[in-house]
Amino acid sequence: MKPAIAPIWSRLGAAAETLRGRHLRDLFAADDGRFTALSTSWQGWLLDYSKQRIDADAMSLLTDLWRAADLPGWILRMRDGEAINHTERRAALHIALRHPASKGPILHAGQDVMPAVHAELEKVRRFCAEVHGRHWRGATGEPISDVVNIGIGGSDLGPRMATQALMAFRHPDLRVHYVANLDAADLATTLAALQPRTTLFIIASKTFTTQETMQNAASARAWLVQALGEAAVARHFVAVSTNLAEVARFGIDPANAFAFWDWVGGRYSLWSAIGLPLALAVGFDNFEKLLAGAHAMDEHFFTAPPHQNLPGLLALLEIWNTNFLGADTRALLPYSQSLGLLPRYLQQLEMESNGKPVDRQGQPLDHAVAPILWGEPGTNGQHAFYQLIHQGGRLIPCEFIACREPDFDLPGHHARLLANCFAQGEALMRGRTVAETTAELLAGGMAADEAARLAPFRSFPGNQPSTTLLLPRLDPHNLGALIALYEHKVFAESVIWDINPFDQWGVEYGKQLASRLLPIIEGRAAATGLDSSTTGLIAWSHAAAKRS
């Protein structure tokens, strides 16, 4: 731990011990102004963290932690293009991808990256116009009706999540699909509903060697060639990659390859040409609004003081819950079906970024990082895992996200949705005592002995912390800001925890082992040097294949 942080860390520990014995309902009862003091707004957004198990003194200490960790200095290092991803000796300049050309240069290795960024965006714009205008035709001369994005990880989750989130803005003449899993069921079930002559594939892989992506790409290519012939590949495949030699070898004209840069991490790449399927799905004008929303959040994060800084507040509250109250998980609960993939997207962004064992000096951490993130849209989750949150006895901080206005306006739906969202936060905070439950049952006409018998089962401890983020509506601008909010939250946490959020060596190790095992599983190499479990699994699968 950084020496500058240690004294504040110790004081936060003492503050947590003081608050540990206080119930949230008592904190509210003692302070009529709690909501006003522990909430903030920005451009029509509201962040209410008054239901967190915290008080003004602890919040003051957390903002001291922000300054002691030198968040302002780290923000400048990121903006200046320093190699803050120090293990890979790379900058982390995803903010450049949504930086307006009118706002001046952003430098990397002394060069302004903005001309190249905007040239690539212009290329995406032109391509979208060709497809939407029905000028891009397949090999048989027919316009494109379906687009299949083949990628994985950051080349899939970001645009996939955003495409679902913006279904209310979908282009009426184009359907966009996503394939990521190496399991053939993912690709096969997608292709079963498509026609080769009207399908366009986007192969998204920076190196054009990612095993899952390239296997799916090869199978999609074979499907197309079987129907339309080898020459059709050039009209039905485009690429997002930097490896133009492999792109050309695949049969894609390098002129139809879209670039991005090594200073863009995969899980931060939605804003680049990786967002091509999203731009096709909702139109380039809406894609630009997404970029503008993200840039607006960038400016807020860079300039707002910690007690008003939305990404900073979320980061500080998570550090409080994780390191001082002992939570090892967080439930993300969007009361929006359109945001149904947001928990999965943020699992990658948060846990792949901050799930690290050592600090920036390579020393083992002496504190917890990156709680387990999970969730499901409301109200579905209420009929699944909310029971555990309410009565399961675990500390599970919850994060509710809702919109004041619906993106699909059917009468009778949205008010009920908001009522459920707000009610769950209240129930988690307040709980219900045995005495309150007994009184309620008696008031309903239940006999005293039966009320006494049932009251323990119908009571709830409450005191579960939660935050509610209320957006005006789910549109491209607000979605861009929401995604950028969590990017900056992750970065702020990493600075305080003193870890590198931009590498992912654990993921790379698994890929390395899979490459070693593949020839053994395929029967092209002997199973030597493996542990007995892995050897046994391979032997069993070989024997089972022979029996079948």
According to the model, what pLDDT value does residue 312 have? 98
Q: Reply yes or no on whether 413 is catalytic.
A: no
Return the pLDDT at 145.
98
User: Residue 511: what pLDDT?
Assistant: 82
Predicted confidence at residue 370, as pLDDT, reads: 94
CATH number for the segment(s) 506-547: 1.10.1390.10
Tell me the C-alpha distance between 262 and 117, whole Å.
13
Give the pLDDT of residue 89.
93
Give the β-pairing of 199-204 and 466-471: unpaired
Tens of pLDDT along the chain (548 residues) come to: 788 899 999 999 999 999 998 999 999 999 999 999 999 999 999 999 999 999 999 999 999 999 999 999 999 999 999 999 999 999 999 999 999 989 999 999 999 999 999 999 999 999 999 999 999 999 999 999 999 999 999 999 999 999 999 999 999 999 999 999 999 999 999 999 999 999 999 999 988 988 999 999 999 999 999 999 999 999 999 999 989 899 999 999 999 999 989 899 899 999 999 999 999 999 999 999 999 999 999 999 999 999 999 999 999 999 999 999 999 999 999 999 999 999 999 999 999 999 999 999 999 999 999 999 999 999 999 999 999 999 999 999 999 999 999 999 999 999 999 999 999 999 999 999 999 999 999 999 999 999 999 999 999 999 999 999 999 999 999 999 999 999 999 999 999 999 999 998 888 888 888 889 999 999 999 988 899 999 999 999 998 888 87
The CATH H-level superfamily of 6-81+289-430+464-497 is: Glucose-6-phosphate isomerase like protein; domain 1 (3.40.50.10490)
b vs e for 319-332, b when ≥16 Cβ sit within 10 Å of the residue's Cβ? bbbbbbbebeebbb
Catalytic entry in 17, 122, 299, 383: 383
pTM above 0.75, yes or no: yes
Pick the catalytic residue: 86, 103, 413, 511?
A: 511
CATH number (2.60.40.2470, 3.40.50.300, 3.40.50.10490, 3.90.180.10) of 113-282 reads: 3.40.50.10490
What's the pLDDT at 2? 83
Q: Whose structure tokens read 């990659």? A: 241
- How many C-beta atoms surround the C-beta of residue 417 within 10 A? 18
Q: Annotated catalytic residue: which of 120, 350, 352, 376? A: 352
Fold agreement between 113-282 and 506-547? no
Q: What angle do CA 292, 293, 296 make, to 5 degrees?
A: 85
Is there a catalytic annotation at residue 511? yes
The half-sphere exposure of 69 on its side-chain side, counting CA atoms within 13 A, is 26
The whole-number pLDDT of residue 264 equals: 92
Q: How far apart are the C-alpha atoms of 542 and 548, rounded to whole Å? A: 10
Alpha-helical segments (H) within 304-357: 310-319, 342-346, 353-354
**Strand ranges for 125-250 from DSSP E:** 146-150, 175-179, 199-204, 237-240
Please state the domain extents for the chain.
6-81+289-430+464-497, 113-282, 506-547
CA 403 to chain centre: 18
Burial of 236 (0-12, 13-18, 19+ CB in 10 A): buried
